[in-house]
Structure 1
């Protein structure tokens, strides 16, 4: 009998997380009469003593929460319980995390995260006999077996809006504008925003590019479209021409990408003598109010996740397929990493529009 459930958000934040938590609280308390506790700051809320948590009620989860960006519970992407960082390296604190779950008296847990977070949560669940249901969230949209994850739609819209702002100033000054966007190792944000925002060049990690090809495209615009400005969008994980990643830093095994936009911009300026400006959106894509689609998907996921617990269906992840919410095995979703494929409809669409993909 489930009477008391926990919910946590883990990994990088994104728009729509609060909408999912709100849906969980409304469904669990309104339909089943359960108590809901929000675990703060990911799994660290179960590791720290005293435990870090909040009792969540319907009154706390009003429509203002639906609109709020970030996560009211806090999150972390640096505190793997199996390799918890400390001054002397990492230690395994998974037993403390499991003990925290039991100390809080939870009957089940809903974890909202990306592939890394869900892999860790599943390992914890298997080790500690935790009844777990997962909800996918990642602006990268690279989790397997789901067409949409919470946060992706808003991130794409933010990048598109940036291109909309860059186009008039590019035209006014006859410049090449380069926009660097997030997406980790997948190009979903870049290609979707690039098509929607009218980019001339879209660079993604999955497709090798040539600076010469990019420059030829820019030069051709004056002949084909009678203009001498260009918009370029590039995913942060795109490598330089030598196949090396462009990174800001690397600590332990975590790489922070950053700088490929300036690399591309400098190469274009060098070859064409063009006036080039570079903009990096960074975490602007994670913040801000969720758009309508992210609010809807998050709400649908939250309701369905609670219903899975009520049905006793654990070790499952909710997913969006063919305009339906379904559930799949967490392990299958994590293993089915979803990078941008060369036969993806958006790749075909970009090529059909004459957008240069660098190859």
Structure 2
């Protein structure tokens, strides 16, 4: 773009997480304080630019207080529903409303957009921006930490801390009642939360979507803990996106015929109890992982991302996402990011660490066999 930047928009899209407000704050501080631009926060993600009248709020330095740095969620609101290219209409039909988005950007007079989202959100918004020749810079956020090109995303640290604390609270109860406690955590496509928090929280079993497992392998580990190690209890962490041992995806129906992930914890509870004879209970942490006060790491990461995203806009480096690599913020092309979720590396350091601690993480021999078959 050749015209000078005067006015930018910032929006959050997809699921919420801790640290979003810190990004918004950093974007506004850098854009206004350093470059003298106007900043507009788009309400409820892409919906704020698609719906009429437009929904937005002007952000100035007087708007922000130090409390925003400490607050979870997003002050702008967000959405993970309604693909703008196939937008659901009241009559049940679907309509392409990408032109409405582009027109909304023009009507508001925005010269560029800073989009805070996961890989799915950034893929959709980057298509919208490309359709209107709108400059876009992305900021990675997701508790699942499954965005390509960045070592970590905003929200992951806080969510992992929440899960670790949950394990800290479940362990005394498990020990007191001689139980196996199963903690089902978020992670539809990747097991980053389960692995990081499972190691930190002293789990005996960690199950993730990336690694196949067997019920006998799980039961054998628990028997070993209860019999060979002489411990009276065990902790199991499982990501919600894990399949059953038979390869099925547990789902729960809601709002009519809609489906969502859920049920793997109860599936394991019944089978562990039958196979080991141990009294077993399950806790589903759910959306507790998304909320709460952002951790120090998430506040720091969010602030660094927000400042550097604005700097990319100032340099006209659009079509990129800020990322954290090797203790520094870098810019990576969005085309390298919007390629689906980033899975755990079964040969990575943390998986090696978990196995070195004796944690059962699945059947790696089966994984190697599947890889050899090209599965």
The question of a shared fold, defined as TM-score above 0.5 by the shorter chain, is answered with yes
Kept in 1, the 8 Å contact 2:179–2:232? The answer is yes
Instruction: Give the SS at the match of 1:335.
Output: coil
The 1:194–1:79 alpha-carbon spacing in structure 2 relative to 1, beyond 3 Å, is same
In the alignment, which residue of structure 1 is the partner of 2:349?
A: 345
- Structure 1 CA distance for aligned equivalents of residues 285 and 210 of structure 2: 20
CA distance in 2, matches of 1:154, 1:86: 36
Q: Identify the residue that residue 240 of structure 1 maps to in structure 2.
A: 244
Please give the alpha-carbon distance, in whole angstroms, between the structure 2 residues aligned to 1:89 and 1:189. 37
How far residue 228 of structure 1 moved from its aligned partner, in angstroms, is 2.0
Unpaired segments ≥5 residues, structure 2: 364-375
Alignment equivalent of 2:134, drawn from 123, 130, 135:
130
Q: Within 2, Cα distance between the matches of 1:256 and 1:125?
A: 30
The aligned counterpart of 1:202 is: 206
Secondary structure in 1 matching 2:206: strand
SS of the residue corresponding to residue 100 of structure 1 reads: helix
Q: Which has the higher mean CA deviation after the structures are superposed, 43-52 or 265-274?
A: 265-274
> What secondary structure, in the 3-state scheme, does the structure 1 residue paired with 2:338 have?
helix
Corresponding position: 1:119 with 2:123: yes
Cα offsets for 1:58-84 (capped at 9, x unmatched): 121221100000000000000221111
Question: Which residue pairs with 1:177 in the alignment?
Answer: 181
1:7-43 deviation per Cα after TM superposition (whole angstroms, max 9, x unaligned):
0000000000000000000000000010000000000
2:36 paired residue among 26, 33, 51: 33
Counterpart CA distance in 1 for 2:35 and 2:256 is 43
- The separation in 1 between residues aligned to 2:226 and 2:74, in whole angstroms, is 46
Equivalent positions of 1:149-228 (< 5 A) are 149-228=153-232
Deviation readout 1:301-334 (Å, 9 max, x if unpaired):
0000000011111111000000000001011111
In 2: Cα distance, 1:358 partner to 1:261 partner:
16
Aligned pair 1:67/2:70, yes or no? Answer: yes
Query: In the TM superposition, what is the alpha-carbon distance from 1:242 to its structure 2 partner?
Result: 1.3
Report what 2:9 is aligned to: 6
Distance 2:108 2:68 in 1: 25
Alpha-carbon deviations, 1:188-235, whole Å to 9, x = none? 000000000000000001111111111111111134422121000000
- Tell me the equivalent position of 2:114: 110
For the 8 Å contact 2:129–2:136, the answer to whether it is kept is yes
Question: Hey, what's the Cα distance between the residues in 1 that align with 2:258 and 2:136?
Answer: 26
Structure 2 distance, partners of 1:53, 1:298, is 21
Q: Which runs of 5+ in 1 are unaligned?
A: none
Q: Which runs of structure 1 show a deviation greater than 3 angstroms over 4 or more consecutive aligned residues? A: 249-255
**1:55 counterpart = 2:58:** yes
Partners of 2:308 and 2:174 in 1: CA distance: 45
Q: TM-score, normalised by structure 1?
A: 0.97
Corresponding position of 1:259: 263
Contact 1:43-1:79 within 8 A present in 2 as well: no
- Tell me the SS of whatever aligns to 1:319: strand
Superposed CA RMSD in Å reads 1.5
